[in-house]
Amino acid sequence: MRIIVSEIQRAQRSGLTQGVDAFEKVLRVFALDGSVDGGIKKRLWEFNHVRNVIVHRAARADSRLAGC
């Protein structure tokens, strides 16, 4: 299953997109995609970046993430 999904991602270059859209491109192959509200997409993108700051940057946010 992982190999198939990896091949779909590679073929569709879904690694070039971020957030929900990357998953939607893969799900579209199986007719499982659907619309996601723009506000939800933005919040998920923000949560992902907050998670990355906590996990990979010792909880130190840059000025862009902090909104300064």
Q: Where are the domains of the chain?
A: 1-34, 37-68
Predicted model pTM: 0.62
Helix, strand, coil shares, percent, the chain, to 5: 70, 0, 30
Dihedral (C-alpha) 16, 28, 11, 19: value to the nearest 10 degrees?
20
Q: What is the pLDDT of residue 40?
A: 94
pLDDT of residue 68 exceeding 70, the answer is: no
Q: Per residue in 25-61, pLDDT tens?
A: 899 999 999 999 999 999 998 888 888 888 887 777 7
